[in-house]
């Protein structure tokens, strides 16, 4: 068998569906990891990408191999897709965060898994496939620098209706060790940066002027990110990213962020309750003391950065009142976006092990596979409220923050949301979209088969 005889399907599974309607994610972004995977596969192998969030997978196109990226939220759907390919004798390969967290489960649904970065092992895997000698597990070592000389095949994203921004990665991992975080588990508290020349070349190779650096913590290595930002200035782009709050203590860094076109950051505020920050090991938010982020919010405004504040709720130190106060905090500070994420016990993380020991896991400890689990519901027994109360207060926060009067109220922030025409447009392009998603996603069931089988049944 030669490369030209091989046909590979790259699959991004969806999360699931509402019971009586097919969920279509309208705020969907390019699945960068599949573009990079495409860039690793030799050019003479035919590749097709299917994004299950909005298009049908063409199982019958005689694919030799299906490569499916698996996250905990999409695991159930990924296994359904794998079963369809297996029926057609397509070899199924899985990778992604969930495969690394719980390989023994993922292996039950595929022929082989890739654990860790795929860069170093794809060639070997393809050669093994050609010799009918595929291994069950390929251990991808963390590559330093990551993605060296590898560029995503962005033509795979064409005409799929993604949001008008290009996703790109500068670094992987994080130096901190917040105890609920799957990233620190995956990368063992290490942070790896790409070659800056590769990042610049990749930006020049694509056609968009608005980028999203999807790093776990873009600003974790300050000297390195400053180098990158200096190189971004002449490109005259705009960008957003995710970073930890300690960036605000470095004025040189902040100035470069603004000069290079930085418009906003997703920042893990997590809680305004100091006891909760201590409980989750979020030391990075208290490096310079803690005064309910008064100074930090002021600095974000000073630099004119739009802020997506991410909160996690349901810690043992949280109460219904403290969670509602968190919601009020985000509203009063007129953040551009806010996410209220219920604490999720991802398999084999510190949090998962602790809750298991304390007999507090619901859904038999496998919420991601459960018939009954619904998106945005609590999957464990919280300390100071019932699971239902936690689910409800999470939904309450999302609704309050995103109700039309809140959107208007938050818009009037002269130094961020109204600072420039671009920021104003970004605000109105994305906030209504996220408002819609709040209602569409709440209570969604995982996987699609129940919906598809029900539909077939109704059509008979």
Residues of this chain that bind ligand SF4 (CB under 6 A): 174, 176-178, 181, 183-184, 216-217, 244, 268, 284
Specify the residue, 91 or 242, whose C-beta has the smaller distance to ligand SF4.
242
Q: How far is the CB of 153 from ligand SF4 (least distance, A)?
A: 27
Could you give the CA distance from residue 405 to residue 427 in angstroms, rounded to a whole number? 14
Q: How far is the CB of 166 from ligand SF4 (least distance, A)?
A: 22
Measured CA angle at 13 (ends 8, 18), to 5 deg: 150
Q: How far is the CB of 312 from ligand SF4 (least distance, A)?
A: 9
Specify the residue, 81 or 280, whose C-beta has the smaller distance to ligand SF4.
280
Specify the residue, 174 or 272, whose C-beta has the smaller distance to ligand SF4.
174
Q: How far is the CB of 350 from ligand SF4 (least distance, A)?
A: 11
Could you give the CA distance from residue 136 to residue 41 in angstroms, rounded to a whole number? 19
Specify the residue, 150 or 178, whose C-beta has the smaller distance to ligand SF4.
178
Q: How far is the CB of 4 from ligand SF4 (least distance, A)?
A: 41
Specify the residue, 91 or 312, whose C-beta has the smaller distance to ligand SF4.
312
On the 0-12 / 13-18 / 19+ scale of CB atoms within 10 A, 231 is middle
> Residue 12's beta-bridge partner residues?
51
Contacting residues for 83 by C-beta, under 8 A, at least 6 apart: 109
Could you give the CA distance from residue 282 to residue 284 in angstroms, rounded to a whole number? 6
Q: Which two tokens stand for residue 77?
A: 């759907």
Q: How far is the CB of 174 from ligand SF4 (least distance, A)?
A: 3
Contacting residues for 329 by C-beta, under 8 A, at least 6 apart: 272, 292, 293
Q: Which two tokens stand for residue 32?
A: 């960068």
Instruction: Residue 406: name the closest of 328, 295, 299 by CA.
Output: 328
Q: Which two tokens stand for residue 355?
A: 């809750």
Q: How far is the CB of 413 from ligand SF4 (least distance, A)?
A: 25
On the 0-12 / 13-18 / 19+ scale of CB atoms within 10 A, 335 is buried
Q: How far is the CB of 215 from ligand SF4 (least distance, A)?
A: 9
Q: How far is the CB of 437 from ligand SF4 (least distance, A)?
A: 22
Specify the residue, 105 or 278, whose C-beta has the smaller distance to ligand SF4.
278
On the 0-12 / 13-18 / 19+ scale of CB atoms within 10 A, 156 is buried
Phi, then psi, of 87 in degrees rounded to 5: -55, -30
Instruction: Residue 213: name the closest of 197, 231, 204, 225 by CA.
Output: 225
Specify the residue, 243 or 394, whose C-beta has the smaller distance to ligand SF4.
243
Could you give the CA distance from residue 452 to residue 175 in angstroms, rounded to a whole number? 43
Specify the residue, 174 or 362, whose C-beta has the smaller distance to ligand SF4.
174
> Residue 264's beta-bridge partner residues?
240, 306
Write the DSSP string, 190-255.
Answer: -EEE--HHHHHHHHHHS--SEEEE--SSTTSSHHHHHHHHHHHGGG--EEEEEE-GGGGG-HHHHH
Q: How far is the CB of 40 from ligand SF4 (least distance, A)?
A: 25
Specify the residue, 244 or 417, whose C-beta has the smaller distance to ligand SF4.
244
Specify the residue, 126 or 309, whose C-beta has the smaller distance to ligand SF4.
309
Specify the residue, 13 or 268, whose C-beta has the smaller distance to ligand SF4.
268
Contact between residue 451 and residue 22 where contact means Cβ atoms under 8 Å apart:
yes
Q: How far is the CB of 182 from ligand SF4 (least distance, A)?
A: 8
């Amino acid at each position: 068998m030669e490369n030209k005889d091989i046909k590979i399907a790259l699959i991004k599974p969806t999360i699931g569906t509402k019971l009586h309607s097919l969920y279509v994610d309208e705020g969907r972004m390019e699945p960068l990891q599949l573009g990079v995977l495409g860039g690793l596969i030799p050019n003479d192998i035919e590749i097709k990408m299917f994004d299950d969030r909005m298009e049908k997978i063409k199982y019958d196109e005689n694919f030799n191999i299906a490569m499916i990226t698996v996250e905990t939220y999409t695991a159930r759907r990924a296994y359904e897709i794998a079963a369809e390919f297996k029926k057609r004798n397509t070899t199924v390969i899985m990778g992604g965060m969930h495969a690394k967290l719980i390989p023994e489960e993922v292996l039950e649904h595929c022929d082989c898994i890739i654990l860790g970065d795929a860069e170093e092992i794809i060639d070997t895997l393809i050669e093994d496939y050609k010799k009918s000698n595929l291994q069950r597990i390929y251990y991808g070592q963390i590559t330093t620098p990551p993605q060296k000389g590898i560029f995503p095949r962005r033509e795979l994203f064409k005409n799929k209706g993604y949001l008008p921004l290009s996703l790109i990665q500068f670094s992987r991992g994080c130096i901190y060790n917040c105890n609920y975080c799957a990233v620190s588990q995956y990368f063992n508290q290490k942070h790896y940066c790409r070659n800056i020349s590769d990042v610049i070349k990749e930006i020049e190779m694509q056609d968009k002027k608005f980028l999203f650096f999807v790093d776990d913590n873009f600003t974790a290595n300050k000297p390195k990110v400053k180098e990158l930002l200096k190189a971004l200035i002449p490109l005259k782009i705009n960008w957003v990213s995710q970073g930890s709050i300690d960036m605000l203590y470095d004025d040189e860094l902040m100035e470069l962020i603004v000069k290079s076109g930085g418009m906003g950051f997703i920042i893990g505020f997590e809680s305004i309750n100091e006891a909760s920050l201590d409980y989750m090991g979020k030391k990075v938010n208290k490096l310079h003391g803690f005064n309910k982020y008064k100074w930090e919010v002021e600095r974000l405004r000073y630099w004119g950065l739009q802020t997506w504040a991410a909160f996690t709720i349901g810690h043992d130190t949280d109460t219904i009142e403290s969670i509602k106060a968190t919601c009020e905090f985000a509203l009063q500070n007129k953040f551009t976006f806010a996410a209220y994420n219920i604490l999720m016990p991802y398999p084999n993380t510190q949090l998962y092990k602790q809750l298991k020991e304390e007999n507090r896991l619901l859904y038999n400890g496998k919420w991601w596979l459960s018939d009954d689990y619904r998106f945005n519901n609590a999957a464990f027994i919280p300390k100071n409220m019932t699971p239902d109360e936690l689910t409800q207060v999470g939904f309450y926060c999302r609704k309050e923050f995103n109700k039309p009067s809140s959107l208007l109220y938050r818009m009037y922030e002269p130094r961020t949301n109204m600072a420039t025409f671009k920021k104003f447009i970004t605000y109105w392009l994305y906030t209504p979209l996220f408002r819609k998603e709040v209602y569409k996603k709440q209570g969604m069931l995982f996987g699609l088969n129940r919906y598809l089988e029900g539909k077939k049944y109704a059509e008979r």
